[in-house]
Structure formats: structure tokens, C-alpha cells
Amino acid sequence: MKRTILLILFSLFTIHYLLFTDIGCAKKEDVIKIGTAGPFTGDQARIGNDMKNGVELAVSEWNAKGGVLGKKIVLLSEDDRHDPKEAVAVANKLVSLDVVGVIGHLNSSCTKPASRIYNEKSVPMITPASTNPEITKQGYNNVFRTCGRDDQQGTELSKFVVDVLKKKKIAILNDKTTYGQGLAEEFKKSANNKIEVVVSEGVTQGDQDFKPVLTKIKSANPEVIFFGGMHTEGGLIIKQAKELGIKAPVIGGDGLYGSTFLEVAGPAAEGAYMAFFTPTAETEVGRNFVKSYTAKYGEIETYAPYAYDATNILLKAIAESKTTDGKKLIDAIRKMKYEGAVGTIEYDENGDIKKAGYTIYTVKDKKFITYDKVK
Amino acid sequence: MLLQQIINGLTLGAVYALIALGYTMVYGILQLINFAHGEVYMLGAYLGIIILGFLTSIGLTAISLPLSISITLVLSMLFCAAYGMTIERIAYKPLRNAPRLSPLISAIGVSIFLQNFVMLSQGATDKVFPPILKAEGLSILNARITFLQIFIIIASILMMAGLHLFIMKTRLGKAMRATAQDRKMAVLLGIDIDRVISITFIIGSGLAAAAGVMVAMYYGLVNYFIGYVAGIKAFTAAVIGGIGSIPGAMLGGILLGLLEAFGAGYISSEYKDVFAFGLLIIILILRPEGLLGKQFGERSK
């Protein structure tokens, strides 16, 4: 009896499976698939979904206008949980599903290993958020980004510490990821001999208790604490530093920008500094984007406009070159001059944007504002 | 700096110890490593946020903060005790006479289920504790201890002392010890072991919930994944202290907390986890039964 039931179940599954694959095959030629990948669950889910929403918005706008090359655009989104291992698996999956291009990943530590897989199949990828300089230096021609690089924001941050804050004794912390460690390195490098590093330490991403290392920092008595890492750890570090009675301000990169940081750090966030992309001049595209994004998803978190532009660049390249061939698309993207929500985007030979600006922000009354507005 | 690191380590260690107790009690009685235990701790943390959020919305926290924290703690412990009991009934009891690997796999299943259950019902992003607790505290000799830290350390010690008294002085505690020593013999002597096992899960889960609420208040942040790391650390603490031994779990937890604080403070925080698991390896090589564990011969099941 048991056996018969099993057999029936098994055959049902098989039939189901065949049916679905069949539908899949039939549909294959009628749509254009693009992929997006990032941390859609977990502690970075909020910025991850913010990025995904940006992509979705662009895709739905194109589909409303009739898709691209007369075909409907299908978006495949995959969760890499900001885990490099997962990112590779996700990249392989997207490639095997024949995506034409990929928007993502979000974290540098994921983008870097994933880019190799997209490169093997010449799938163009545009990351809206990975800022590690190495990513576009790997010699892969399929890699682009709509954001800036850590050497650019590292320079901006060190200039700020040395010239504006006029501080010398610095404690440097990083979260041991490609992004955090890279940013801390760039900061140290660009500050050159103008700063004195009193403590240099790494912490583990996902950890919640930083008091032991902060106690060590407290006894070294730095004037500024630099943190290369993301908002959750950054928020906890600032909060716990206050609890230990550390008065030195905390400064970090774009990873600290976002509402999660404000929530986690609470009142301790006031007076923290971080570099983030320069607010762009008001453009028609930008205004429309903000209007339709907030109507559909609510407040913009961080990378949504960069993801929106990245998606539009990819789809425009498909529309203009009238092909889904990866190599031709890569050439089309490289030659493109695109007026987007974040301003004009043009690419250099590495896949970096030609004009990338960073500005120092600070937290005042639970809001991020540019530092020059404080004075 | 030394005093500050001791405070840091004790706070962390007290929490590890509370969770480790649940592992060690269940192991003592069922020889089962309850991998879903970390998830019960995570549920406790979520319940803490939800209950305290509710109390804030009706205005009780504004009137009396200690009262609302106590209510949160008690309610969340009760809820998690019910969760613990249900988990035992559904996932372990039907497998009581199955090979030892089966309940272990079942435990991993429960753990995955609970993680996804919380992720889907509470969302995949971090939940932030209502900011009602201020970072006030005392300064002693250049070291700072917040009132919350004092509360965590004292509450944990009280709970552990209470548990010790319960195990040593009450009839039910005696029945638990008897079941741990020899389950078959305990049945022959008329001990209702189903009840003993239920009680074990209830107490263990309650303590984990208390740890969860306190951690959530301390760091002000929970997500559906925190049970994993905390569970592994607490399990390590239980093994270091000697799995099956209740004082061992307390000692192991405190030791692990202090070791992490000192390792991160005096050597490097890059290797924080290395100290914890390094100690585990050393203990397993030199004293496999753990610091306070008893050496058993061939164990009669």
C-alpha cells in the first residue's frame, strides 16, 4: 500500500516537473531575462531590498512601454545573503538560467567572486553598490558600476580627518570583509604620514559584542575611531563606545549610511561622520524616479537610484544594440553616455564611472545631512 | 582596562551560561544535543521586543521601567517554555527509542523550521529594541558598568542559583538527577520520566528566553539568525564545562565569556572566535569529559 502511494506521488511529481519544464522551454524565446542579486534577507536585507526595488521599478517601467526588442523583461532576483560562497552559487544559477545581464551584487566581497563567473560567459554585470577598487581591476571587461570606489572615498575621508577635524591619533577598525578591510587600507594609505594609527583591529561581521576591543581602543585614547564596515556593526560599535565612555567620534564609509545605522545606534549616532555619494544636481529623471519610487516602496534607503540607473543602462544597451549577445552589450555599455537619476554616467576603460564624487555626511537630529550644512 | 574587560567578559559569559544550561540539562537526561535550543533563545529575544514594544505602547514603561522589564522577562520565559515543551512533544518524543542520530536530525530540522518561521512572520531585517533604556551606569576605577550589565549579571546568577537549589533540594530535582543517571532504573522506581523530560525542556527553554530578552535589551538588536552563533557558543561552553554537568555549564559559560573578552582585548579581536574554539579543541584533547564532567564507562541507555 505504502509503495503504491509512493509510486503515485513520484509519478505525479515527475509529470509536474515535465509539465513545468515544458512551459519553461516554450516561453524561453519570448522573454528577456535579467538578473539581480544581493542580500535580500538577513541584517543587510533593507539595503538589499532597496537595491532590488530600484531594479524592479526600472523593469516595470520598461515593460509598461512594451518591454525591450518587443519582448517582455523578466527579472530573476537571487538572495546571496552577503555571503561570498552563496554569491558564487547564485551567479552560477543566474548564468545557467541564461540571463542577459546582471544588476549586482551589493557587497564587494560577493561581487568579486561572482564577477569571474559572469565573465566566463560574457554576461555584463553592473553593480550599484560595490566600491572596492579591485573589482574593476581584475581585467574583466564585463564589470561595471554606477557607484564610486573606496580609494576615492578613502581619500575624501582622510582629507576630512586631517584638514577639517584636524585630528592625528586614529584607531582603525574593519569588519574583515573585502569592502571593510579595503576601505580601511585606502584610508590609511591616503592619509599617508599625517595620522598616527594607535590601534588597528578587525572585528567579525555578525558579531554583536565589541566591548572588549573598544576597551582596548579606549586605553589607547585616540581622537577619532575609523570603522570600515557596514551599518549594523557600525551602529553597535558607536553605541557600545558611548556606553564605555569613549568620546572620540566614529567615522566610516558609505556602509554606515542608511536608516538601519540610525536605528541601531540610537542617540549615539549623533555626530558620527560618513562618506556617501555626493547628492546629485536635480535632474528630470531623478525627480521622476523619487516620485515613483516613494509612491511604490516608500522612503529611499541608499542604493536604489544607483540600481535604477544600472538597470536602465543595461536595458538601453539591449534596445540600442538590438541584441542580447553579451559581448556586444558590453561594448554598448562602455560607449554609452547616460543621463540618469544620479546624473550623467560615462564609463572609462575599466568600467568605473568617470565622475564619482563623495561628500562627508554627519548625523544630526536623527538625519543624515552633508557636513557643510552644519557650519 | 583589566576591570573593564572582566565586566565585559562576565556579561557575555553570564548569557552564554544561561543558554548552555539548556544544552547540558537536555543532554544529561536524553543524551541528545538539542540543536533547536539556540532558536528558542532567538524566539525569546523576539518575544522580548514584541512584549516590551506592547508595554511601551500602552504606556507602562513610562510609569515603571523595572516592572515592565520583569513582565517582559516572565511572559517571554513562559512563552518559550511552552515552545520548548511543544518541540519536545512533536520532534523528539516520537523518536525516543529510535537510533541516536534520528532525534539529532530532527533537532536540526526544528532549528531550520523555527528560523524560517520567524523570518517569514517577523521579516528578514533586523528588529531594533525600543530605545527606552539609557546607557547610564556607574564608573568604578576608570571602568564603566551600565545598569543593564549589572542587571544581566545579577539576574543570571540568581537564576542559576535558583536552578541549582531546584535540582538539589526538590523532589522533582531528585527525579531529574535520577533520570539522568539511569533512565531505565528511574522508570522502574516509578518516576514519570515523560514529565521529567518535559520539565527539563521547560526550564531550559525558559532560561534561554531570559538570556534572549537580556541580550536583546543589551545590544538593542535581534534578527532571525542570532540563535545560530549564540547556540554554537553556548554549546561550546557546555562542552568545555562538561556536557551533562549543570555547574559545568555555568563555569564553561563564564570562562568562555572572559576568554573572549581577554583574548580580544589583550591579543587581537580578529581572533576572538579562535580563542573560544581553540579552548574547545584543547579541552577535547586533554580532558574530553569537560572541566567538571564525570567520566562514564560504557553508558547504559
Structure confidence by residue, pLDDT tens digits, B16-37? 999 999 999 999 888 888 999 9
Chain-centroid distance, C-alpha A354? 18
CB-based contact A268:A240 (threshold 8 Å)? no
**Lookup: cell for A351:** 568600467
Report the C-alpha gap between A361 and A249 in whole angstroms. 13
β-bridge pairing B127-128 and B137-140:
unpaired
Q: How many Cβ atoms from other residues are within 10 Å of residue B52's Cβ?
A: 27
3-state secondary structure of B35: coil
Q: How many Cβ atoms from other residues are within 10 Å of residue A26's Cβ?
A: 9
Report the C-alpha gap between A129 and A104 in whole angstroms. 8
Partners of A212 on chain B (C-beta within 8 Å) are 5, 8-9, 260-265, 269, 272
Chain A contact present for B6, CB below 8 A:
no
CB pair distance less than 8 Å for B270 and A243: no
Q: Locate cell 527606552: which residue?
A: B132
CB pair distance less than 8 Å for B270 and A211: no
β-bridge pairing A343-346 and B127-128:
unpaired
Chain A contact present for B10, CB below 8 A:
no
pLDDT for A260: 87
Structure confidence by residue, pLDDT tens digits, B232-271? 999 999 999 998 888 999 999 999 999 999 998 888 888 8
CB-based contact A121:A337 (threshold 8 Å)? no
CB pairs A-B closer than 8 Å = 100
β-bridge pairing A343-346 and A101-104:
unpaired
**pLDDT tier at A5, thresholds 50, 70, 90:** low
Partners of A258 on chain B (C-beta within 8 Å) are none
Q: Where are the domains of chain B?
A: 2-122+129-286
Q: Closest partner residue to A215 among B1, B229, B272, by Cβ?
A: B1
**pLDDT tier at A310, thresholds 50, 70, 90:** very high
pLDDT for A225: 95
Report the C-alpha gap between A207 and B215 in whole angstroms. 12
Q: Which of B19, B121, B126 has the highest number of chain A CBs within 10 A, making it the mutation to test binding with A?
A: B126
Q: Locate cell 503504491: which residue?
A: A4
> Which residue intervals of chain A are DSSP H helices?
2-27, 45-64, 84-96, 108-120, 150-159, 178-191, 211-220, 231-243, 259-265, 284-297, 304-321, 326-335
Q: Locate cell 544588476: which residue?
A: A103
What's A71's DSSP letter?
Answer: B
The DSSP element (H or E) to which B144 belongs, if any, is: strand B143-146
Chain B contact present for A21, CB below 8 A:
no
In single-letter form, the type of residue at position A366 comes to: K
On the 0-12 / 13-18 / 19+ scale of CB atoms within 10 A, A85 is exposed
* Nearest Cα residue to A361 out of A371, A350, A374, A351: A371
**Shortest Cα distance, chain B CAs vs residue A218, angstroms:** 9
CB-based contact A51:A307 (threshold 8 Å)? yes
CB pair distance less than 8 Å for B1 and A264: no
pLDDT for B199: 93
Chain B contact present for A374, CB below 8 A:
no
CB pair distance less than 8 Å for B264 and A40: no
CB-based contact A349:A257 (threshold 8 Å)? no
Chain B contact present for A216, CB below 8 A:
yes
Chain A contact present for B226, CB below 8 A:
yes
Report the C-alpha gap between B250 and A300 in whole angstroms. 47
SS (H, E, C) B38-104: HHHHHHHHHHHHHHHHHHHHCCHHHHCHHHHHHHHHHHHHHHHHHHHHHHHHHHHHHHCCCCCHHHH
Backbone dihedral region for residue A366 (phi beyond 0: left; psi -120 to 50: alpha; all else: beta):
left
- Give the gyration radius of chain B's Cα atoms: 19
Structure confidence by residue, pLDDT tens digits, A160-176? 999 999 999 999 999 99
pLDDT for A22: 46
Asked if the model's pLDDT at residue A209 lies above 70, the reply is yes
CB pair distance less than 8 Å for A264 and B124: no
**pLDDT tier at A2, thresholds 50, 70, 90:** low
- Residue A30's contacts (CB-CB under 8 Å, 6 or more residues apart) are A71, A72
Structure confidence by residue, pLDDT tens digits, A106-139? 999 999 999 999 999 999 999 999 999 999 999 9
The DSSP element (H or E) to which B283 belongs, if any, is: helix B272-286
Structure confidence by residue, pLDDT tens digits, B124-173? 788 887 766 666 777 877 788 888 889 999 999 999 999 999 999 999 99
Partners of A239 on chain B (C-beta within 8 Å) are 135, 220
The overall average pLDDT reported for chain B is 88
Q: Closest partner residue to A245 among B123, B126, B144, by Cβ?
A: B144
**Lookup: cell for B223:** 534578527
* Nearest Cα residue to A200 out of A165, A227, A163: A227
The overall average pLDDT reported for chain A is 88
pLDDT for B81: 95
Chain A contact present for B12, CB below 8 A:
yes
State which residue of chain B sits closest to A218, comparing Cα positions: B1
Chain B contact present for A45, CB below 8 A:
yes
For the residues A351-362, what does the mean pLDDT come to?
Answer: 86
The DSSP element (H or E) to which A26 belongs, if any, is: helix A2-27
CB pair distance less than 8 Å for A41 and B264: no
Backbone torsions φ then ψ of A98, nearest 5 degrees: 60, 50
Chain B contact present for A366, CB below 8 A:
no
Chain A contact present for B266, CB below 8 A:
yes
CB-based contact A351:A144 (threshold 8 Å)? yes
E-assigned strand segments in chain A: 31-38, 72-79, 101-104, 125-127, 143-145, 169-174, 196-202, 224-228, 250-252, 273-277, 337-340, 343-346, 358-364, 367-370
Percent of chain B with pLDDT over 90: 54
Partners of B42 on chain A (C-beta within 8 Å) are none
pLDDT for B45: 93
Chain B contact present for A243, CB below 8 A:
yes
CB-based contact B107:B32 (threshold 8 Å)? yes
Report the C-alpha gap between A311 and A296 in whole angstroms. 17
3-state secondary structure of A41: coil
Residue B176 vs residue A8, higher pLDDT: B176
Chain A contact present for B102, CB below 8 A:
no
Partners of A268 on chain B (C-beta within 8 Å) are 135
Chain-centroid distance, C-alpha B134? 25
* Nearest Cα residue to B211 out of B23, B41, B38: B41
SS3 content of chain B, % helix, strand, coil (to 5): 75, 5, 20
Q: Closest partner residue to A208 among B1, B219, B263, by Cβ?
A: B219
CB pair distance less than 8 Å for B264 and A213: yes
For the residues A346-360, what does the mean pLDDT come to?
Answer: 87
- Residue A318's contacts (CB-CB under 8 Å, 6 or more residues apart) are A32, A68, A69, A100, A101, A324, A329
**Shortest Cα distance, chain B CAs vs residue A174, angstroms:** 9
* Nearest Cα residue to B257 out of B282, B245, B240, B243: B240
What count of Cα atoms within 13 Å lies in the side-chain half-sphere of residue A173? 32
CB-based contact A75:A32 (threshold 8 Å)? no
Lowest mean pLDDT among A180-184, B165-169, B296-300: B296-300
Q: Which of B4, B117, B217 has the highest number of chain A CBs within 10 A, making it the mutation to test binding with A?
A: B4
CB pair distance less than 8 Å for A45 and B5: no
Percent of chain B with pLDDT over 70: 96
What's B23's DSSP letter?
Answer: H
Q: Closest partner residue to B260 among A212, A260, A266, by Cβ?
A: A212
* Angle between helices B37-57 and B193-219 in degrees, nearest 10: 60
On the 0-12 / 13-18 / 19+ scale of CB atoms within 10 A, B69 is buried
C-alpha dist (Å) from residue B243 to B220, B237, B246 = 31, 9, 8
CB-based contact A71:A63 (threshold 8 Å)? no
Chain A contact present for B58, CB below 8 A:
no
CB pair distance less than 8 Å for A45 and B125: yes
Report the C-alpha gap between A187 and A358 in whole angstroms. 14
Chain A contact present for B166, CB below 8 A:
no
Report the C-alpha gap between A14 and A37 in whole angstroms. 30
Lowest mean pLDDT among A25-29, A56-60, A241-245: A25-29
The class level of CATH for B2-122+129-286 reads mainly alpha
